[in-house]
A = this chain, B = another copy of it.
Amino acid sequence: MVRARSEERRADILRAALEVIAERGYRGASLGSVAERVGLTQQGLLHYFPTKEALLVAVLEERDRWDTSGGRDREGWRLDLLESLVEYNAMRPGIVQTFSALLGESVTDGHPAREFFTERYALVRANMAQVLRLEFGDRLPSGLSPERAAPLLTAVMDGLQYQWLLDPAAVDMPAAFRDFLRLLHGGEPRP
């Protein structure tokens, strides 16, 4: 059972890394602080992930595995599921904070997560376009094509997250997102 124990440790480490990155960002997250949170020395942590960058990559990969499995299975989104995703995120500030901080850092030069995020966003936009096409066909009520609306949908989700993280009391993220969906639907109140 040494194998299972090891996998468990790895999972613990990734969870701790997620927390520390949320608090300090990637650059500010030291291996030592992550290790301490798991009850390991920094060198003990390096036994599982040989470099800091390897740890980051593992964190990102896990996130990817997580949100391509839960509910979405490849291309299974629908607009109303997006709505509940936003509601779900509104209850998990930790995870949202981690990836918002990481996204922000990633636009700096030579950041190890940069490639990950550019590829990810290309994929997300493609997914969003597909979702919109499934909901509206080739033209939204506004006349926009799904491909043109996809970046906007993505931008709204991200942008709202930042405003919400900075001041949760000032921004009702799920409600604002619903407002945007209503906008996409042509603006009239829904039943």
Contact = CB atoms under 8 A, between A and B. Distances in A.
A147 to B, nearest CB: 11
Given A118-B167, A186-B187, A187-B187, A179 B149 contact: yes
Contact of A28 (B23, B108, B171): B108
B23 A108 contact: yes
A73 interface: no
B163 A176 contact: no
Interface residues of A, number: 56
Contacts of A103: 104, 162
Copies in the complex: 2
Interface of A is mostly: helix
Given A141-B187, A159-B156, A107 B108 contact: no
Contacts of A125: 163, 170
A180 interface: yes
Given A154-B163, A155-B159, A176-B148, A101 B97 contact: no
A158 interface: yes
Interface in A84-116: 97, 100-109, 114
Interface string A135-161: 000001111100011011011111110
A114 B182 contact: no
A172 to B, nearest CB: 9
A57 B144 CA distance: 41
A184 interface: yes
A40 interface: no
A108 B28 CA distance: 9
